[in-house]
């Protein structure tokens, strides 16, 4: 399942992170960046083979999902999954696509140290302009938020963990 859950206050929210999500905030121009580290890499997996089971026909269901651009770049990196609860081709295909989507999000990572932004939420898409790293409105997804307080200096800051959109 590609959905992610985050809890805010006493409510939980389900979000389906799509690669077409728009940016909700910009860092680097009006909101300064204290420090940024960015990484781009290949996806850990480029093909997922999912095996399920059809209880009516008593036959296995085997579905392959591919990330063709990744295969062209760095050959085939296979992940095999077996789940007897997947009883249709559509469910097996959705599971494979979800694993490829997660690998895509994790293929680019990074960290940002920024002044506190009270409106920042998990899984928001942001764009980053950081001339030190050659970034101009580079889109990233917020995967983690840490609030840090330095009592000796009386300063608060956010540390954001980032992934690909």
pLDDT at 136: 93
Confidence of residue 165 (pLDDT cuts 50, 70, 90): confident
Query: Residues 99, 117: one domain?
Result: no
Note the pLDDT tens digit of each residue in 56-109: 999 999 999 999 999 998 889 999 999 999 999 999 999 999 999 889 888 889
Query: Residues 95, 116: one domain?
Result: no
CATH of the domain at 134: 2.40.30
* Rounded to 5°, angle at Cα 133 from 44 and 34: 105
Query: Residues 34, 115: one domain?
Result: yes
DSSP code at position 67: -
Query: Residues 121, 158: one domain?
Result: yes
User: Does the pLDDT of residue 2 top 80, yes or no?
Assistant: no
Query: Residues 65, 95: one domain?
Result: yes
Give residue 57's domain range: 47-106
Note the pLDDT tens digit of each residue in 8-58: 889 998 888 888 999 999 999 889 999 999 998 889 999 999 999 999 999
Query: Residues 10, 35: one domain?
Result: yes
**Contact call for residues 141 and 98 (beta carbons, < 8 A):** no
Query: Residues 60, 139: one domain?
Result: no
For residue 165, the Cα-to-chain-centroid distance in whole angstroms is: 6
**Residue where a domain terminates, one of 106, 121, 138:** 106
State the pairing for strand pair 47-54/59-66. antiparallel
Note the pLDDT tens digit of each residue in 103-144: 988 888 999 999 999 999 999 999 999 999 889 999 999 999
User: Does the pLDDT of residue 1 top 90, yes or no?
Assistant: no
Query: Residues 65, 79: one domain?
Result: yes
Residues listed for the chain: 165
Query: Residues 12, 24: one domain?
Result: yes
pTM: 0.75
Query: Residues 23, 12: one domain?
Result: yes
Query: Residues 86, 120: one domain?
Result: no
């Amino acid at each position: 399942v590609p959905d992610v859950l985050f809890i805010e206050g006493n409510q939980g929210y389900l979000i389906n992170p799509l690669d077409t999500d728009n940016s909700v905030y910009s860092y680097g121009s009006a909101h300064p960046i204290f420090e940024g580290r960015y990484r781009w890499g290949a996806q850990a997996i480029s093909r997922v083979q999912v095996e399920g089971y059809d209880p009516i026909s008593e036959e296995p269901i085997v579905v392959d999902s591919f990330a063709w651009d990744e295969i062209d770049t760095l050959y085939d990196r296979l992940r095999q999954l077996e789940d007897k609860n997947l009883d249709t081709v559509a469910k097996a295909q959705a599971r494979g696509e979800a694993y490829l989507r997660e690998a895509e999000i994790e293929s680019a990572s990074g960290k940002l140290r920024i002044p506190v932004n009270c409106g920042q939420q998990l899984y928001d898409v942001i764009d980053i302009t950081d001339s030190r790293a050659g970034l101009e409105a580079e889109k990233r997804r917020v995967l983690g938020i840490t609030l840090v307080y330095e009592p000796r200096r009386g300063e608060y800051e956010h540390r954001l963990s980032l992934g690909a959109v």
